[in-house]
Amino acid sequence: MTGPSRIVAPIRRDLPPAIRARHLWQRYGSRDVLRDVSFDVYPGEIFGFIGPNGAGKTTTIRIMATLVDPMSGRVEIDGLDVTMEPETVRRRIGYMPDHAGVYDRITVREYLEFFADAHAIPSLGVVDAVLELTDIGHLENQLVATMSKGQKQRLQLARILLHDPKVLILDEPASDLDPRARIEIRELLLDLQSLGKTILLSSHILSELSDVCTSIGIIEHGQMVVSGPIHEIADRLAQRKAALALGNEPSAYNANALGGAALGPSLSYAMGPSAAERRLVKLRVIGDLTAAAYTLHGGPGIFDVNVVGRSLHVGYGGGEAKVAEIVAQLVHRGFGVIGVEEEMRELERVFLEATGMPGRGGGA
Amino acid sequence: MSAQTGIEVRDGPTSGRLRDRVRHRVAGWRDEPNPLWMREMRQAARVQVTPIALAVLTVLMTVLLGAIGGIMGEKRSSPADAGQALFQTFFSLAYFVVALIGPALGANTIASEREGHTWEAVLLTGMRPEVVTRGKFLAAYTLIAMYIVMLAPVGALPFLFGGVTPTEVLFAFVLLFALALVAVGFGLAVSAKMQSTRGALVIALLTAVPLSGFCFSIFGVGGAEFARGTWGDTLSRGPIWLPRAYAVAPFNLEYLLYLVVVPLVVLALPAWFLYETSLANLTSVTEDRSFGLKRWHAVSSAICALLGLVPLAYLAPHESTAHAFAPAGVGVLAYAIFAAYLFATEPIGASRRMERVLEGRSRLRRWFGPGVPSTLSLLRWTTRGAVFVSLSAALLVARVRSSVSAPAGFPFVVEAACIGLWGFYVLGFTEFVFGLSAWLRARASGGAGVRPILLAILFATLAGPWVIAAITGLLTSSGSDALIVAALSPLHVLTHTFEAVTRGTSAAQRSFAASSISAVTYYVLGLALARVGRRRCDAIVTEHRALLADADARLAKEDEAAANAAAANEAAANENAEAAREPSLGDPRSTDRSA
């Protein structure tokens, strides 16, 4: 793993999207599983496909992976229609399904050699290359059956990298993994992004995605609620909130008006003001924590103040200027502030705001 | 290059000559074997149960043969008789071992991939269904071949006793290997359809147990009787008669027909069918999954029609040509019902992708392509061809026989009437079967319920008239007239009309007329159903195309709007950049510079 020395490849929004889903509809029996789902993923992006179980993530992904034909709509991978040119698309994608199986009674190397042959890869060295890239070279002669879940996931990633696909589609890649394995997978994904791969990964666990995704798509009940870069969505939500506060119609602040990614119909939900406005900062303060808490309590824009261990947890509304104001206030009153840590809950906040679920936990 | 073998394969043949191309192909098979086969063999090598199972089976067979040999010795039978008894026992048991283990091994192949969630990974490698089918088949066939090879030393024991020649033993083993092709193919075809290994195993074995017993009775016990009648007692000594027949039967036309053509057809046609069925079930529904099966259908319907003519060649002078023609008609009828059942779930029309693929192809290829209308046309014309060939041949034989031996047989007019009626009835009824199938498919949204409904209607058509006739006969106590109701069933022609016409009874005219009317009714009804079904399919396809065109237009419009917006943004950006670069008139510095 490259770790800190990783060079992140630029996201090319000036290029045509690597994945383009347009007006997808799918029905199973009498149930509409997908309803007009559209989104774009640009080259070099890590796109988090978020939604609760049964929202339509896997169906969308299976359409992208050429395993299911949509009833209506189109998916283009690298400019190719997946329905019309599935063989070519298969050469350009690496798909790792949810709960993918492995062949237990062969070794890691034999497993990869089989898939290298199945892909008709002309080079023998490719197996060594992916073993090294996914950091499982030391396991090459180990039987697959004896590997841990995390190692098996890495093996799956090695498998889908054999034919050097441009686009990686990963359905719940970190589900059922222990924390260490999750971190390893996350690091591996960032490595792959640095190699220029476009990655779409689905999950219903937000914490899995928050550190790696450059853009997201939130799907619920078969409809795309919102999609685009996380910061753009957050900005648009903030603008929308401001518009609501001024009594404007939310429809005036649609995707086109705000530029960039699309807002789905679910934005007409009533948003949770508390979830939208509230942020949390952890302050490490020298001195009497209770006195410091009293100093801040009831101040403008401050919702609550709690003493947790040796820190103050301050719930506030506003941006970074407000944090600076809080720190200045404490220093002014003679408290030493030795640490400021803003809680990283941007994705959870966006999710809650976009799906209109105030007061509910981020991880579904 | 094969990663699994580590051997580098040359890119292509050294020249375009046939010899070089064949050499290259053989080198490819040797140096770059099927990846699935290689992987399965590597996995199988680590299964510890297989050698134990092989050893146990071999020991059991050895003990059994030893016991039989001992009993024969106690009875003071000659060594030759003991050898023959051991030969018959061993290969009868080996037949059942292959007929039951083969399907079980085949059933474990593709279903296990689906159950283990590895199937999609295999599918997305881009391997064609043909390659997957061959790889899985080779893996299962290698295992069953191991069973046969392990049994070989035990199978050679009878030869030591005498009464059996080495050639017979060799032929018997060759036949076992040939049987294994069909047995594994059957398991594979079941496996290709199923999602779970257990389900595939249960269905494969539940079918294989009665089917293997049935085949043993027909081709073993029944075949031995036939061989006794054809070549005499010395040839056939039990159900394992074919190896001896190959070794000692005189080489003539009968040898070619019964020992080469018929066994080849009996093994090759089912094996090909099972292969194409597996392929169809591994192919996506939006592709042309039934192309291979249609090819098989075209060939097998022709072969079946020709085989149906064989009884005409063996007619005794006193026998009726019409009666000899009857099995050919029954064969065509049964085969048509099977074909209608087989293609009952055909897609309404070709998918968009397949339409594009077939655009530049020949008319013949498109005729074999997907869609109810083309399938209906294929079924109708192949069956019409089979009926025409059979009918013409039967009429020709009847004509020749009447001119050669008129006093001994029936008059040509009678023969021609019976043959013509039966031929037309078969034609009418098959038209009805295909029309009904197309109409049902056009009505069903997903095609799921078509097969059971089709079978139910056909069963009612074949058996129902007899039930009604029986009830009517019982109620009116006028059996022979009541049976005219049964003319709606094709079997009535064979059981009553033929009899009445050839004997010239008073009911002949009524029976003939009733059968003719039924045949015409079926024909007209079949044409009408086919027409309605085809129209509905055309309407569905047209509607679907319109929807796709509409969606395309919407997407194109969106693309155009996006392109226009991007161009406008770019123009605005350029304008701004230009404006920023241009010197402002109010700026004194710029005025100075311009001055």
Give the per-residue pLDDT at B588. 46
CB-CB contact of B418 with B501 (8 Å)? yes
Question: Residue B125 and residue A122: Cβ atoms within 8 Å?
Answer: no
Question: Residue A101 and residue B118: Cβ atoms within 8 Å?
Answer: yes
Question: Residue A106 and residue B39: Cβ atoms within 8 Å?
Answer: yes
B342 and B214 share one domain: no
A78 and A160 share one domain: yes
Asked if A97 is an interface residue toward chain B (Cβ–Cβ < 8 A), one would say: yes
Whether A315 maps to a domain, the answer reads yes
B486 and B342 share one domain: yes
Whether A260 maps to a domain, the answer reads no
CB-CB contact of A217 with A39 (8 Å)? yes
B207 and B320 share one domain: no
Question: Residue A159 and residue B118: Cβ atoms within 8 Å?
Answer: no
Asked if A258 is an interface residue toward chain B (Cβ–Cβ < 8 A), one would say: no
Residue with tokens 């506030």: A316
B146 and B226 share one domain: yes
Residue B399 burial (10 A CB sphere; 0-12, 13-18, 19+): middle
Whether B584 maps to a domain, the answer reads no
| ipTM reported for the complex surpasses 0.95 | no
Give the per-residue pLDDT at B123. 92
Give the per-residue pLDDT at B74. 75
3-state class of B276 per DSSP? helix
Radius of gyration of chain A (CA): 23
Is residue B165 very low, low, confident or very high in pLDDT (cuts 50, 70, 90)?
Answer: confident
Instruction: Measure in Å the smallest separation between the Cα of B1 and chain A Cα atoms.
Output: 5
B328 and B270 share one domain: no
The tokens for B192 are 């290709």
Q: What is the CATH number of the domain that holds A129?
A: 3.40.50.300
Question: Residue B118 and residue A102: Cβ atoms within 8 Å?
Answer: yes
Q: Does residue A268 carry a pLDDT above 60?
A: no
B490 and B549 share one domain: yes
Q: Which member of B1, B36, B126 has the closest CB to residue A87?
A: B126
Is residue B488 very low, low, confident or very high in pLDDT (cuts 50, 70, 90)?
Answer: confident
The tokens for B142 are 């290698």
Give the per-residue pLDDT at B591. 42
Query: Number of folded domains in chain B?
Result: 2
A136 and A57 share one domain: yes
CB-CB contact of A228 with A347 (8 Å)? no
Where does chain A show beta strands of DSSP type E? 19-28, 31-41, 46-50, 72-77, 80-81, 93-96, 167-171, 198-203, 215-220, 223-229, 278-286, 302-308, 311-317, 336-342
Whether B338 maps to a domain, the answer reads yes
CB-CB contact of A258 with A236 (8 Å)? yes
Whether A364 maps to a domain, the answer reads no
A191 and A286 share one domain: no
Instruction: Measure in Å the smallest separation between the Cα of B182 and chain A Cα atoms.
Output: 26
Give the per-residue pLDDT at A265. 39
B408-437 pLDDT tens trace: 567 788 888 888 989 999 999 999 999 999
Asked if A127 is an interface residue toward chain B (Cβ–Cβ < 8 A), one would say: yes
Q: Which member of A83, A90, A113 has the closest CB to residue B124?
A: A90
Give the per-residue pLDDT at B10. 64
Q: Which residues of B touch A (CB under 8 A)?
A: 1-4, 6, 32, 35-36, 38-39, 42-43, 46-47, 116-118, 120-127, 284, 286, 351-353, 356, 547, 551, 554-555, 558
Q: Examine the fold and report which residue of B261, B283, B305 is the final residue of a domain before the chain moves on.
A: B283
A205 and A110 share one domain: yes
Q: Which member of A22, A116, A117 has the closest CB to residue B555?
A: A22
Give the per-residue pLDDT at A48. 92
State the Cα–Cα distance between residues A159 and A72, nearest whole angstrom: 31
Give the per-residue pLDDT at B282. 93
Whether A73 maps to a domain, the answer reads yes
Question: Residue A74 and residue B551: Cβ atoms within 8 Å?
Answer: yes
Q: Does residue B199 carry a pLDDT above 90?
A: yes
Asked if A120 is an interface residue toward chain B (Cβ–Cβ < 8 A), one would say: yes
Mutate to test the interface with B, among A38, A113, A175 (most CBs of B within 10 A): A113
B88 and B232 share one domain: yes
Give the per-residue pLDDT at B520. 95
First to last CA, chain A: 30
Question: Residue B117 and residue A69: Cβ atoms within 8 Å?
Answer: no
Is residue B583 very low, low, confident or very high in pLDDT (cuts 50, 70, 90)?
Answer: low
Q: Examine the fold and report which residue of B259, B283, B307 is the final residue of a domain before the chain moves on.
A: B283
Q: What mean pLDDT do residues B477-496 have?
A: 75
Mutate to test the interface with A, among B118, B122, B124 (most CBs of A within 10 A): B124
Q: What mean pLDDT do residues B464-489 have?
A: 74
A73-82 pLDDT tens trace: 999 999 999 9
Asked if A95 is an interface residue toward chain B (Cβ–Cβ < 8 A), one would say: yes
Is residue A240 very low, low, confident or very high in pLDDT (cuts 50, 70, 90)?
Answer: confident
Is residue B500 very low, low, confident or very high in pLDDT (cuts 50, 70, 90)?
Answer: confident
CB-CB contact of A217 with A263 (8 Å)? no
Give the per-residue pLDDT at A9. 59
CB-CB contact of B208 with B99 (8 Å)? yes
Query: Number of folded domains in chain A?
Result: 2
Q: What mean pLDDT do residues A152-179 have?
A: 90
Give the per-residue pLDDT at B236. 64
Question: Residue A67 and residue B124: Cβ atoms within 8 Å?
Answer: yes
Instruction: Measure in Å the smallest separation between the Cα of B21 and chain A Cα atoms.
Output: 20
Question: Residue B353 and residue A99: Cβ atoms within 8 Å?
Answer: no
A131 and A12 share one domain: yes
B298 and B244 share one domain: no
The torsion angle over the Cα atoms of residues B373, B374, B375 and B377, rounded to 10 degrees, is 90
Whether B300 maps to a domain, the answer reads yes
Question: Residue B117 and residue A84: Cβ atoms within 8 Å?
Answer: no
Asked if A69 is an interface residue toward chain B (Cβ–Cβ < 8 A), one would say: yes
Range of the domain at A331: 274-347
Q: What is the CATH number of the domain that holds A317?
A: 3.30.70.100
A299-331 pLDDT tens trace: 888 888 888 777 888 888 777 788 888 999 999
Asked if A5 is an interface residue toward chain B (Cβ–Cβ < 8 A), one would say: no
- Could you tell me which of A168, A155, A162 has the C-alpha nearest to residue A122? A162
Whether B42 maps to a domain, the answer reads yes
A137 and A281 share one domain: no
Where is average pLDDT lowest: A288-292, B440-444, B477-481? B477-481
Whether A123 maps to a domain, the answer reads yes
Whether B66 maps to a domain, the answer reads yes
Where is average pLDDT lowest: B134-148, B286-300, B389-403? B389-403
Where is average pLDDT lowest: A56-65, A256-265, B127-136, B539-548? A256-265
Proportion of chain B above pLDDT 70, given as a percent: 94
The tokens for A309 are 């261990």
Where is average pLDDT lowest: A129-133, A176-180, B111-115, B260-264? A176-180
A75 and A209 share one domain: yes
Question: Residue A103 and residue B43: Cβ atoms within 8 Å?
Answer: yes
Show residues of chain B in contact with A28, CB under 8 Å. none
**Range among A10-24, A191-205, A348-362, B364-378 rated most confident:** B364-378
Q: Does residue B595 carry a pLDDT above 50?
A: no
Instruction: Measure in Å the smallest separation between the Cα of A292 and chain B Cα atoms.
Output: 51
Q: Which member of A72, A106, A118 has the closest CB to residue B551?
A: A72
Residue of B179 and B11 predicted with greater confidence: B179
Instruction: Measure in Å the smallest separation between the Cα of B36 and chain A Cα atoms.
Output: 7
Nearest-CA residue of chain A relative to B9?
A: A122
Q: Rounded mean pLDDT of chain A?
A: 81
Q: Rounded mean pLDDT of chain B?
A: 86
Q: Which member of A22, A119, A143 has the closest CB to residue B126?
A: A119
- Could you tell me which of B215, B211, B142 has the C-alpha nearest to residue B177? B142
A200 and A311 share one domain: no
State the Cα–Cα distance between residues A295 and B513, nearest whole angstrom: 110
B331-370 pLDDT tens trace: 899 999 999 999 999 999 999 899 989 988 999 999 999 9
Range of the domain at B353: 286-557
State the Cα–Cα distance between residues A308 and B539, nearest whole angstrom: 71
State the Cα–Cα distance between residues B442 and A52, nearest whole angstrom: 38
Whether A14 maps to a domain, the answer reads yes
Contacts of B214 (CB under 8 A, 6+ apart): none
A94 and A21 share one domain: yes
B304 and B212 share one domain: no
Is residue A347 very low, low, confident or very high in pLDDT (cuts 50, 70, 90)?
Answer: confident
Whether A111 maps to a domain, the answer reads yes
Q: Does residue B479 carry a pLDDT above 80?
A: no
Residue of A295 and B69 predicted with greater confidence: A295
Question: Residue A118 and residue B547: Cβ atoms within 8 Å?
Answer: no
Question: Residue B4 and residue A110: Cβ atoms within 8 Å?
Answer: yes
Give the number of residues written for chain A.
364
Task: Give contacts of A 100-119 with B, CB under 8 A.
Answer: 100-103, 105-106, 110, 112-119
A107-155 pLDDT tens trace: 999 999 999 999 988 777 899 999 999 989 999 999 999 999 889 989 9
A195 and A103 share one domain: yes
Instruction: Measure in Å the smallest separation between the Cα of B556 and chain A Cα atoms.
Output: 11
Q: Which member of A23, A86, A116 has the closest CB to residue B3?
A: A116
Q: Examine the fold and report which residue of B237, B265, B283 is the final residue of a domain before the chain moves on.
A: B283
Mutate to test the interface with A, among B34, B112, B125 (most CBs of A within 10 A): B125
Whether B8 maps to a domain, the answer reads no
What angle do helix axes B166-193 and B197-215 make, rounded to 10 degrees? Answer: 140
Whether A267 maps to a domain, the answer reads no
Nearest-CA residue of chain A relative to B117?
A: A101
Q: Examine the fold and report which residue of A176, A200, A220 is the final residue of a domain before the chain moves on.
A: A220
The torsion angle over the Cα atoms of residues B484, B489, B491 and B495, rounded to 10 degrees, is -10
B311 and B266 share one domain: no
Nearest-CA residue of chain B relative to A85?
A: B353
State the Cα–Cα distance between residues B138 and B132, nearest whole angstrom: 10
DSSP characters over A21-50: EEEEEEEETTEEEEEEEEEEE-TT-EEEEE
Proportion of chain A above pLDDT 90, given as a percent: 35
Is residue B514 very low, low, confident or very high in pLDDT (cuts 50, 70, 90)?
Answer: confident
B318 and B211 share one domain: no
Instruction: Give, in order, the Cα–Cα distances in Å from A336 to each of A297, A301, A307, B143, B309.
Output: 17, 22, 15, 77, 106
A205 and A56 share one domain: yes
Show residues of chain A in contact with B117, CB under 8 Å. 97, 99-101
Give the per-residue pLDDT at A4. 45
CB-CB contact of A56 with A204 (8 Å)? no
Q: Does residue B203 carry a pLDDT above 80?
A: yes
B166 and B250 share one domain: yes
